[in-house]
Chains A and B, each alone.
Chain A
Amino acid sequence: EPEVTQTPSHQVTQMGQEVILHCVPISNHLYFYWYRQILGQKVEFLVSFYNNEISEKSEIFDDQFSVERPDGSNFTLKIRSTKLEDSAMYFCASAVYTGELFFGEGSRLTVL
């Protein structure tokens, strides 16, 4: 069964450093998303991406965040200058249409 894959599974970084999280969505999916989950809390929407552009973004997704689909398969989330409060599990998700989200296993980001 096709899956969304994410790398790295865990990233430790120093405050102020740039981080790029990588995702390979399911191949025939058209809608791509990033969510984050601070330990023990809710799944929070960050951004959605469709037709090579951002469709929606939340207030969390400020100028420090950006997304890219550099080729036909990857979907990346960049955090330019990490803060302590960016520590969380970041989930990539994809969908074939506006319905069920298929989540990756997540990338745990720890900012020291």
Chain B
Amino acid sequence: GENVEQHPSTLSVQEGDSAVIKCTYSDSASNYFPWYKQELGKRPQLIIDIRSNVGEKKDQRIAVTLNKTAKHFSLHITETQPEDSAVYFCAASDTGGFKTIFGAGTRLFVKA
């Protein structure tokens, strides 16, 4: 079945440094790749997404890259701040959009 692998499971960075989270997906029919941020005890919220016809997308300090051939996509956060500390989930959605599969999550700690 569909699977999304996410690494690392935990990431600790110093404030101001960059953070990179990587994901791979198994279903070649996936064409939508969102990233969600989940703060402790809260709901997941979309922070950025990318579709398969685009290789890279940026929104201020956050960027996502997609390599469809290798079935890899990555989240890059630059100039990290303590409020970036949270769990980040990558996800992949099938062509019909009826099933979004999440990775296992990356717990990001940004040390002040």
Interface size of A in residues (CB-CB distance below 8 Å): 25
Quick check: A43 and B98 within 8 Å, CB to CB? Answer: no
**8 Å CB contacts to B: which residues of A1-57?**
31, 33, 35, 41-45, 48, 50, 55-56
Contact with A along B70-102 (1 / 0, CB 8 A): 000000000000000000010001101111111
| Interface assignment of A62: CB less than 8 Å from any CB of chain B | no
A-B pair count, CB < 8 Å, reads 63
| Interface assignment of A95: CB less than 8 Å from any CB of chain B | yes
Interface size of B in residues (CB-CB distance below 8 Å): 24
B residues neighboring A (CB under 8 Å): 1, 32, 34, 36, 38, 42-46, 49, 89, 93-94, 96-105
Quick check: B102 and A43 within 8 Å, CB to CB? Answer: yes
Quick check: B98 and A98 within 8 Å, CB to CB? Answer: yes
List residues of chain B with CB within 8 A of the CB of A75: none
Partner of B97, one of A43, A59, A99, A106: A99
A residues neighboring B (CB under 8 Å): 31, 33, 35, 41-45, 48, 50, 55-56, 58-59, 91, 95, 97-101, 103-106
Partner of A95, one of B36, B94, B97: B97
